[in-house]
Amino acid sequence: MERERLVIMIEVAVIAGLATLLSLVKINAFWPNGGSISLEMIPLFIIAFRRGWKVGVLTGLITGLVDLLISPYVVHPIQLLLDYPVPFLLLGFAALFVKKGQVPKVTTLIIGVIFATLLRFLSHFASGVIWFSEFTPDGWNDLAYSAFYNASYLVPQMLITLAVLIVFVKSYPQFFNVKKI
């Protein structure tokens, strides 16, 4: 049991580090007030589907906190929560649709990724409406602008993540089937 916990702790650390590194390689030319397209969600979903939602949530929390340390933009303590640890820990909930230790089917993987990305979107959306409405262009509604702004990078990021995960689960399904140590 202790050895298995150690292996999980190592996986969490490696995945959080990998997600952080992948977050630094990004397309952010279109979003002047935060947000970008990167591959950071891929390892977070992998650990969630591999180890379950609790480990996925923990890994997302760690990733969000490390992201906060690397590139913070904080205007309020609640905004800090809504833009850093909360959206990434919410990605772990993708695993709610898969039984722990089983290889996710493509449809369950798609449902889980869409669900968790929607949760992440809602966190960024709330932050945008409450704290960043000053950036709303003239003629736009604050709600519509925050929804458009956040969806404009999260939807492409989700689609790229889904494509990679589907290829991964079809090519290497045994990776998701964790054996007891």
CB atoms < 10 A from the CB of 134, how many?
Answer: 8
Please tell me the predicted confidence (pLDDT) of residue 46.
96
CB atoms < 10 A from the CB of 75, how many?
Answer: 13
Per-residue pLDDT of the chain (181 residues; tens, 9 = 90+): 799 999 999 999 999 999 999 999 988 777 777 788 999 999 999 999 999 999 999 999 999 999 999 989 999 999 999 999 999 999 999 999 998 778 899 999 999 999 999 999 999 999 999 998 888 899 999 999 999 999 999 999 999 999 999 999 999 998 888 766 5
Element (H, E) at 37: strand 37-38
Q: Which domain holds residue 106?
A: 2-176
Tell me the C-alpha distance between 10 and 50, whole Å: 14
Query: Cβ distance 7 to 181 under 8 Å?
Result: yes
Tell me the C-alpha distance between 166 and 179, whole Å: 22
DSSP 135: G
Asked if residue 58 belongs to a domain, the reply is: yes
Please tell me the predicted confidence (pLDDT) of residue 179.
66
Asked if residue 77 belongs to a domain, the reply is: yes
Quote the number of domains for the chain.
1
Please tell me the predicted confidence (pLDDT) of residue 180.
62
40: domain CATH number is 1.10.1760.20
Asked if residue 181 belongs to a domain, the reply is: no
Asked if residue 54 belongs to a domain, the reply is: yes
Please tell me the predicted confidence (pLDDT) of residue 181.
56
